[in-house]
Amino acid sequence: MRRLAEILLPLSLLPALALPLSAAADPLPSPGVCPASGPQVCFVDASETPQVTIPAGSSDMTYLHVRATVLNRGTSTATHLSITEAPPPGLAVAALSGVDGAGRPAVCLPSTGACSYSNLQAGRSVTIDAVLAVSAAARPTTAGTDPNLNTLTARVDEGINDNPANGGKVDTTPLSRPLNLVARDGTSVYSYVPAGVATALTTDKNGKPFAVATSAASGSEVGTTEVPALSQSVAASVARSGVGACPGSCAMTDWMAVSVPDFPSIASYLLKTTVRVDSTVIGTIKGLNANTVVVWYQPDLATTPVALPRCTITGTGLPSNPGCFVPTKEKDGDITVVVYERHNGRIRL
C-alpha cells in the first residue's frame, strides 16, 4: 500500500480532485471578495477540508484540500488572469489544478503554487483546486492568535493589451481564510484523501498504522482504516466517539467511528478497519477473550447496532461474508479485531 507521505500526485489525477461532499462550497458575502479598483475579478466562493490532523513525524502525512471560484463581474475581458496559492507554515502544495472560463485546464505549477488562465471574459468564472501536504512542522489552529491563514491571490493586467512581461499595472485580489489544523491526540485522525491513492488512516498518537495499544487513556484503543484507491476524493476520518450507549457488554468506553463518505459508490473493495484494545481495558470484562468477544457495528447514529458474525476467509484472503470480523489475542493480552465492511460505520467491542 502506498502511503500518502510517499507520493507526489501525478497530473493524471488532477481532474479527479473534485470537491468532496463533506466540504461544500462556502459562498462569500455578495458580490464576493473584489478589488477596490480596476477589473472586477472577484472570489465568489471558497472551501477547505473542514478539519485535518497534524502529522506526528516525517513518516506521517495528512492532506488538505482548498478550492475557490473567481468570477469576472466586470463588463470587459480580464487579461492574463493568474491565481497563486500560499499555504501557512508547515504546509506545501502537493498538487494543483484549475479550469478556465471556457472549461479548459489551466496551466498550473505546484512548485510555484500558480495557475495561469490567460484571459477571462465578462461574466465567466474559473476555479482553482489545491491539495496541501501537511507536515509535522504545522501548528494547531488557535482562533485569534494563530489562525493558520491560507491565501489565494488573483492577478490580472489592468490593460487588455498588456503583455505579462511588459511591466504594466497588475491588479491583485487576495483571499485569506483560516485552515482548521488539529494536533494528534491519540483519539482521532482527519485527512483529505485524493482519488486514486490508497492509504491507511490511524488514530495512533505517533501516526503508526496498527500500533500497539497502551494503558494510557488516549492510546488504549487504536483504530486503523485501510482506504483503498477511490474514484473520488473525500475528506475521511477515524475517531473515537462517546456518543451512543453500548448495546450489550462492552470493554471499550466509546465507539471507533470510521467515515469515508460515499464509500460503496467510489470503491471496488471492502473497507478494512483494525481496532486494537489494550489488555487493561479488556480486563474490565470478566471472561472476555478472542473466543468470546462480540463486535458491535452501527452504520450511523440513526440505525440500530448489530453484532457482527465472524468472517469466513476464502483462498483469496478475503471474507466470503462481508460485514464480519476476525479476532486475535496478542502476546501482551491486547485483543485485535479486523472488521470488513462495505461502507462507513461505528465499531465497538
Domain positions in the chain: 4-182, 188-348
The 3-state DSSP class for residue 21 equals helix
Strands 181-182 and 52-53: parallel
At 124 the pLDDT is 94
**Dihedrals phi, psi of 308, to nearest 5 degrees:** -75, 145
Cell of 68: 475557490
Grid cell in block for residue 175: 483571499
Return the pLDDT at 168: 62
Q: How far apart, in whole angstroms, are the C-alpha atoms of residue 93 and residue 149?
A: 14
Q: Which of the residues in the chain have pLDDT under 50? A: 1-24
Sign of CA dihedral 71, 40, 49, 150: positive
Q: For position 311, what pLDDT does the model report?
A: 95
How would you classify the pairing of strands 149-157 and 78-86?
A: antiparallel
DSSP string, 170-210: EEEEEEEEE--EE---SSEEEEEE-TT--EEEE--TT--TT
Q: Is the pTM of this model over 0.85?
A: yes
Pairwise CA distance, residues 347 & 238, whole Å = 11
Phi, psi of 15 (to 5 degrees): -65, -20
The architecture in CATH of the region 4-182 reads Sandwich (2.60)
Looking at residue 142, what DSSP letter applies? B
Angle at 225 between CA 322 and CA 68, to 5 degrees: 115
b (16+ CB within 10 A) / e for 25-64: eeebeeebbbbeebbbbbbbbbbbbbbbbbbbeeebbbbb
Domain 188-348 has CATH 2.60.220: yes
Q: 4-182 and 188-348: same fold?
A: no
